[in-house]
Chain A
């Protein structure tokens, strides 16, 4: 893995707050993701991990706080500027979120339709699609429909789609949830390979301790909507804090 450059963060959240009625999900969450880093955010179900990652790409509007991606405060961007910034971010959804009325090829072509020229990506659409599919080991499935793929294959195709615009930041929302242990390991290995190939910075939301152990440079434990603990995997597992301990034991 490439060494982490801690000079200036590529992504920064400051004092992020979000409530749904009386339910306060995020209560001043902070995060910095540096270039080349794999940052894992762990937390129990309902701790606000998915809400945080969705605020980050503008799918959910935060109540307050700042979200800076590559020097841009996304809360202050117009729709067009936000769309352009989003091309620099790949997002792997928990349930893959493949477009089920389109083939694998069309799924990968979809983001290219609008942004290929603007991003000046080298190669024609076919080449880019094949390259992304080859990187996830699924070139032979190009003309299949999502329903014809297994869960693990769907996750790989979704990863290929997230990579098609060659983003510099990748956000993973529970990348191994719902997969068997062997497929989970394959996906984790693939995430590492992708980071080496594409030189990306990754923010990984998970409650899979194995995934965090293998992939993380640094971890944040999210409890009750705030940063409860932070450090490397080794530091956190050695912690004597009962809440941190309980998390790893569970």
Chain B
């Protein structure tokens, strides 16, 4: 009886949260097309999010390319399929590994940052202060941040994928004596629009999810400084889970259409 009650209570909390997030998403879409538009703040957020995450994305992408190639090489060599390395790495990184890994990195970097920033603004009544001055804090704080993550994540993913391929090419060049030109020729021969388009569309959704959950957790933060920590932590955990759900749906739809 006790366990059933706990499951029921947890389910209620879960569905209430899903409902709140849906309402929050609906409010975003209502506000995003309504003037006045906060272009200056949007550009500032794009710059901060892109700029602050760039080094992390570049380093992660480079190591991803290196490690992926190093780990795959012996297996392909055993089967005498070394020449498939650039195609395999290229397709894997562009289609799946690049977007997912970089989105996860950004969920940690950007999502937690948004959650903590908005959370501390909430608990120190800065959001209330905006509201009582007759400005719309949702538009200024939330809409701009979600837009910025949605626009910047695809860009960061393109940069991350490119650097990952460079890392892979470096290993191939050192270990397999494959020239950079030959490597990239093979990569671009293997990659088709059916790889690039779904991955790009997916990356917009990843960016949207990172911004949405970070903002949602921060905007409705409570319980003082403890709440800020919880908001930041929950932003990363919820976003990471959501990224995998989006990825699964994207792969499923891609499988139908491409």
Contact = CB atoms under 8 A, between A and B. Distances in A.
Residue picked from B124, B130, B132, most chain A C-beta under 10 Å? B132
Contacts, number: 56
Contact of B132 (A59, A95, A115): A59
Interface stretch (A25-33, A64-72, A86-94, A217-225): A86-94
B189 interface: no
Interface residues on A, range: 20 to 34
Contacts of A1: none
A75 to B, nearest CB: 16
Contacts of A93: 125, 128-129
A165 interface: yes
Interface stretch (B61-69, B133-141, B149-157, B161-169): B133-141
Contacts of A94: 125
Interface residues of B, number: 15
Contact of A89 (B128, B132, B136): B132
Contacts of A84: 134
A83 B34 CA distance: 15
A165 B132 CA distance: 12
B208 to A, nearest CB: 23
A58 B132 CA distance: 8
Nearest to B123: A95
B133 A111 contact: yes
A57 B133 contact: no
Interface of B: 36, 117, 121, 124-126, 128-136
Interface of A: 54, 57-59, 79, 83-84, 86-87, 89, 91, 93-95, 97-101, 110-111, 113-115, 161, 165
**Which 8 residue pairs across A and B have the least CB separation, nearest first?**
A111-B133, A97-B129, A97-B125, A83-B134, A86-B134, A91-B132, A87-B134, A93-B125
